[in-house]
Amino acid sequence: MTTLDFTPRPGAAPLPRMVLAQAGAEARATLRNGEQLLLTMIIPILLLVGFSVAPLVDVGGGPRVDFVTPGILALAVMSTAFTGQAIATGFERRYGVLKRLGATPLSRAGLLLAKTVAVVGVEVLQVVVIAVVALALSWSPHGNPLWVAALILLGTAAFSGLALLMAGTLRAEATLAAANLVYLVLLGLGGVLFPLDRFPAGVRPVLDALPITALTDGMRSVLAGGGGFPGGPLLVLACWAAVTLALAARTFRWE
């Protein structure tokens, strides 16, 4: 038998090293998981291509790809930060992974930071792939990339809050079902592909208050319309982020 020197030499690694190690593991897990890949990459790309090429919805004037791409980018953020993260975290809780990680030097704050880094990392990949496909379909983006980054970051915060709220309170199977259902409902109602002016005026205020609507609106006003600072959408997303993250922090059960 090989021998190892087990002489105690305990010590925590520096926080950045721990966070990057955990973030890398989570990002690899997402990219290796077939269902997650379907959700984060394949569905958005299929929708992008389908709705850009075929006249499935009346987008008003202008090339269809210019209308569809901002919505698909918003969908990509929602799929990773909300649906994917909720399901993955729900099952980590079920399998005792969150519990086990609690016994390592990685603190809970460090774990949440790692999850955020992993989500943003996957989102960067999604944005690159979606942008390449959209450009190939003659997409012509406008606007300030900084506003786009701000929208994606606040959108990520809002959807992460929702994801953790769900994953930390529901059973893993319930989280799986609810996260997929919410994804579909928000995809249909949030202006991702179907312009909001098709909906009755009475429900518009409700739809406008949804985080996906704010993200889609903001992305579209910047990227398609070349609009300036998307103050309204950013405010809506900030409110969602503040409320959901605060609630998740209060209700999250690690076991």
Partner 1 sequence: MRGVGSASGGGPAVEIRGLVKRYGRATAVDGLTLTCARGEVTAILGPNGAGKTTTVEICEGFRRPDGGTVRVLGLDPADRALRPRLGVMLQAGGVPPAVRAGEWLRVVARFHADPLDPAALLDLLGLTGHARTPYRRLSGGQQQRLSLAAAVIGRPELVFLDEPTAGLDPQARHACWDVVTALRDAGVSVVLTTHQMDEAEKLSDQVVVIDHGRVVAEGTPEALTGAERQLRFRARPGLNLDELLCALPPGSAAKESPSGHYIIEGQVGPQLLATVTAWCATEGVTTEDLRIERRTLEDVFLELTGRELR
CB of residue 31 vs partner 1: minimum separation in angstroms?
Answer: 11
Q: Counting contacts by CB under 8 A, is residue 8 touching partner 1? A: yes
CB of residue 78 vs partner 1: minimum separation in angstroms?
Answer: 23
Three-state SS annotation for 33-75:
CHHHHHHHHHHHHHHHHHHHHCCCCCCCCCCHHHHHHHHHHHH
Among candidates 248, 208, 219, 198, which has minimal Cα distance to 76? 219
Q: Counting contacts by CB under 8 A, is residue 232 touching partner 1? A: no
Q: Could you tell me if 192 and 214 are in contact, meaning their C-beta atoms sit under 8 angstroms apart?
A: no
Q: Counting contacts by CB under 8 A, is residue 106 touching partner 1? A: yes
Q: Counting contacts by CB under 8 A, is residue 176 touching partner 1? A: no
If the CB atoms of residues 33 and 169 are measured against partner 1, the closer one turns out to be 33
Instruction: List Cβ neighbours of 225 (8 Å cut-off, separation of 6 or more).
Output: 142, 143
CB of residue 107 vs partner 1: minimum separation in angstroms?
Answer: 6
Among candidates 185, 163, 173, which has minimal Cα distance to 85? 163
Q: Counting contacts by CB under 8 A, is residue 29 touching partner 1? A: yes
CB of residue 33 vs partner 1: minimum separation in angstroms?
Answer: 7
Stretch that binds partner 1, among 17-25, 51-59, 62-70, 201-209 (CB under 8 A): 17-25
Residue of the chain from 37, 49, 56, 107 that contacts partner 1 (CB under 8 A): 107
Residue of the chain from 38, 53, 62, 99 that contacts partner 1 (CB under 8 A): 99
Q: Could you tell me if 116 and 250 are in contact, meaning their C-beta atoms sit under 8 angstroms apart?
A: no
CB of residue 95 vs partner 1: minimum separation in angstroms?
Answer: 5
CA distance 141 to 224: 6
- B/e letters for 220-237, b = 16+ CB within 10 Å, e = fewer, are bbbbbeebeebeebbebb
If the CB atoms of residues 63 and 102 are measured against partner 1, the closer one turns out to be 102
Q: Counting contacts by CB under 8 A, is residue 102 touching partner 1? A: yes
Sign, CA dihedral 203-204-205-206, equals: positive
Residue of the chain from 37, 55, 72, 105 that contacts partner 1 (CB under 8 A): 105
How many CA atoms lie less than 13 Å away from 114 in the CB half-sphere? 23
Site for partner 1 in 33-92 (CB under 8 A): 33, 91-92
CB of residue 229 vs partner 1: minimum separation in angstroms?
Answer: 40
Binding residues with partner 1: total (CB under 8 A)? 38
* Residue 240 token pair: 């969602």
Q: Could you tell me if 127 and 48 are in contact, meaning their C-beta atoms sit under 8 angstroms apart?
A: no
Q: Counting contacts by CB under 8 A, is residue 17 touching partner 1? A: yes
CA distance 128 to 158: 22
Residue of the chain from 46, 97, 132, 242 that contacts partner 1 (CB under 8 A): 97
- Binding positions for partner 1, rule: CB under 8 A: 1-13, 17-18, 20-22, 24-25, 28-29, 32-33, 91-92, 95-97, 99-100, 102-107, 255
